């Protein structure tokens, strides 16, 4: 059993307190076609490195603050600065275990669900993001891997749908908030995921779903239906006008 599915009592309490929903339901697709991918252990180590870098930067800021206070001449009420600085230290120390715990939860509560017709990705703890994409709309799939990810043996699979033609770098760095862009982050089988999605996109298009010609035929058919409805309305208006003109209306004085 995946260790990420075995939650401790503390994790269960936090999940309930933050109202984190249960694992996502599979998106639209044929029964039995659902596959669930999870982030690799290397993703957790990657997040720990990012967390450690942030904490080191915060600690350096506190040290710089104390250094500056040492060279500032005393003045009435200068003790307030010392109090603020020590409050910052206390807050930093108290937040360490909480933020580390959130890093672990973020790794565990990350879901990548794929069917034969669509995919669904959910990630986040404090801010939960869930995206569902139809394979019929997918335009591009790419594997992204930085130097640290390469050392950890992980990569990100970028999926882009119609309308997401802008630069991918900014969306990737900001957490993939673009609704036309989704990521399978920190997986150790990126090529397998990419190939699986490409194969299902190819099957959909071979069957006529998502084919631009099919969309064009649908548009033409919709236009013909609107034209027929307009003709029926015009016929009824003409009949009403003829009926009104046949009536004997009193002439105005």
The domain ranges of the chain are 16-203, 215-242
Tell me the pLDDT tens digit for each residue of 160-179: 998 655 544 444 444 445 77
pLDDT at 25: 92
pLDDT at 69: 80
pLDDT at 164: 53
**Could you tell me the two tokens for 130?**
């869930």
pLDDT at 179: 76
CA-CA-CA-CA torsion sign (163, 166, 172, 175): negative
CB burial readout 86-116, b (16+ within 10 A) else e: eeeeeeeeeeeeeeeebbbbbbbbbbbbbbb
pLDDT at 151: 96
The CATH architecture that domain 16-203 belongs to is Roll (2.30)
pLDDT at 96: 94
pLDDT at 187: 96
pLDDT at 233: 62
The segments of the chain whose pLDDT lies below 70 read 1-8, 163-177, 208-234, 236-253
pLDDT at 44: 96
pLDDT at 170: 45
| Distance in angstroms (rounded) separating the CA atoms of residues 168 and 175 | 11
């Amino acid at each position: 059993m995946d260790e990420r599915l075995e939650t401790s009592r503390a994790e269960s309490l936090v999940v309930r307190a933050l109202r984190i929903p249960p694992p996502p339901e599979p998106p639209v697709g044929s029964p039995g076609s659902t596959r669930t991918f999870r982030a690799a252990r290397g993703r957790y180590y990657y997040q720990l490195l990012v967390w450690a870098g942030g904490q080191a930067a915060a600690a350096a800021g506190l040290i710089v603050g104390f250094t500056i206070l040492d060279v500032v001449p005393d003045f009435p009420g200068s003790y307030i600065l010392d109090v603020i600085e020590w409050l910052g230290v206390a807050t930093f120390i108290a937040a360490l275990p909480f933020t580390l715990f959130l890093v672990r939860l973020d790794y565990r509560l990350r879901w990548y669900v794929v069917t034969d017709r669509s995919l669904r990705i959910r990630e986040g703890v404090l801010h939960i993001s869930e995206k569902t994409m139809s394979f019929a709309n997918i335009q591009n799939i790419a594997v992204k891997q930085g130097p640290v990810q390469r050392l950890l043996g992980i990569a990100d699979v970028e999926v882009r749908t119609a309308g997401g033609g802008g630069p991918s770098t900014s969306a990737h760095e900001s957490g993939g908030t673009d609704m036309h862009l989704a990521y399978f982050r920190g997986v150790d089988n990126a090529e397998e995921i990419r190939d699986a999605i490409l194969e299902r996109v190819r099957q959909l298009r071979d069957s006529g779903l998502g084919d631009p010609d099919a969309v064009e035929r649908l548009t033409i058919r919709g236009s013909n239906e609107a034209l027929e409805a307009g003709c029926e309305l015009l016929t009824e208006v003409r009949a009403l006008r003829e009926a009104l003109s046949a009536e004997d209306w009193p002439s105005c004085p």
